[in-house]
Amino acid sequence: MTHTEQIRRHAERRQDNATAERIDMALQTLRAFDEHTARRFLSIAGVPDTLAHDVLARPLGQTRRTRLLSSTAHDRRRA
């Protein structure tokens, strides 16, 4: 693999991670509010309409849950 191909791959991976973070945030928005708000967030975030439609059409139980920027620290707030 050439140096240019490595750079391109790294850029694509960063873009994929950014999109995944936006999708995750939209799913959290969907859980907290409604589909309209989640769809609006994705539109403002620049996620393609077809991808937004595909993700939001799935039942919440059938979406993968990932944490790209997970923290190992425990939440110490009191309930």
Q: What are the pLDDT tens digits along the chain (79 aa)?
A: 787 777 777 777 777 888 989 999 999 999 999 999 999 999 999 999 999 999 999 988 877 765 555 444 454 555 5
CA 1 – CA 36 distance, rounded (Å): 43
Domain contains 31? yes
What does the DSSP assignment read for 42-77?
Answer: HHHHT--HHHHHHHHHS-GGGS----TT---SPP--
What is the reported pTM?
0.66
Number of independent structural domains in the chain: 1
Domain contains 53? yes
pLDDT of residue 66: 52
pLDDT of residue 67: 54
pLDDT of residue 13: 75
Domain contains 42? yes
Domain contains 2? no
Domain contains 47? yes
Residue position matching structure tokens 């928005």 = 29
The range of the structural domain enclosing residue 54 comes to 21-59
pLDDT of residue 31: 93
pLDDT of residue 4: 79
